[in-house]
Amino acid sequence: MKLNTDSPKYQGQRKIMVTELESLGIKNENVLNALNKVPRHLFMDPGLISHSYKNLAFQIQSGQTISQPYTVAFQTELIKCKKGDKVLEIGTGSGYQTAILSYLEFDVYTVERDLTLFKKSSLTFKNLSIKVKKNLFADGYLGIIDSAPFDAIIVTAASKEIPKYLMNQLKVGGRMVIPIGDDVQIMYRFTRIEKNKFKQEEFGEFKFVPLVKGK
């Protein structure tokens, strides 16, 4: 990943942001390091750049949001991946979460249903030399059947129900981290412990834009 568009000002702001994430309970050193290194300001809407290192979600195009840094760190920690793992992200959006996964040297597959955001994030990945195995303009509910199974699936929009079709694209031992609910969601982690058996864990309340069916 090219980081030469960075500046000492942003580096300082990111350090402070990461200290805040640590105080909020993020422990994984690799995850903290990734948030310390990836320039979030390059994924923000131009008018909001000065807010890049606040621990808040912000509007991007098409009425969508760039996730809050805490949420990005939390979900990235929850998927429990290591270098080389195959990770599918649903909801590319700005591409910031994708860049964090790529920085961690996971094999990243990402899907976005909104054409404007898909085009914009594709350009960002190209300009910053962010390595992504596949980025698709498609309905994320369908996953990427040709590239399945995955070690992990990270869903960055709120689903009303458990997306069974996606869950079945996990390897045995694989994990899916997903917010489920209406106005407020609960973060779930489903671990495929056997072919037809999933362990379910809950990790508190979050607020995401909705996962929408179709392109």
Which residue stretch of 65-73, 80-88, 144-152, 195-203 sits at the interface with ligand SAH (rule: CB under 6 A)? 65-73
Which residue stretch of 20-28, 46-54, 113-121, 161-169 sits at the interface with ligand SAH (rule: CB under 6 A)? 113-121
Strands 185-194 and 170-181: antiparallel
**Contact between 169 and ligand SAH per CB under 6 A:** no
| Least Å from the CB of residue 129 to ligand SAH | 19
- Residue 67 annotated as catalytic: yes
Instruction: Kindly tell me which residue out of 117, 144, 152, 187 binds ligand SAH, with binding defined by CB under 6 A.
Output: 117
Task: Specify the DSSP class assigned to residue 113.
Answer: S
Dihedral pair phi/psi, residue 20, rounded to 5°: -65, -40
Residue with tokens 């702001």: 13
**Contact between 130 and ligand SAH per CB under 6 A:** no
Please, are residues 79 and 90 in contact by the beta-carbon 8 Å criterion?
Answer: no
Q: Is the dihedral of CA 200, 65, 137, 132 positive or negative?
A: negative
Element (H or E) spanning 187, and its range? strand 185-194
Instruction: Kindly tell me which residue out of 21, 44, 90, 170 binds ligand SAH, with binding defined by CB under 6 A.
Output: 90
Catalytic hit among 67, 94, 102, 121: 67
Strands 170-181 and 107-112: unpaired
Residues 136-165, interacting with ligand SAH (CB under 6 A): 139-141, 156-157
Residue 173: closest CA among 107, 98, 85? 85
Which lies closer to ligand SAH via its Cβ, residue 65 or residue 191?
Answer: 65
Binding site for ligand SAH (CB under 6 A): 64-67, 90-91, 93-94, 96-97, 111-114, 117, 139-141, 156-157, 209, 211-213
Catalytic residue numbers read 67
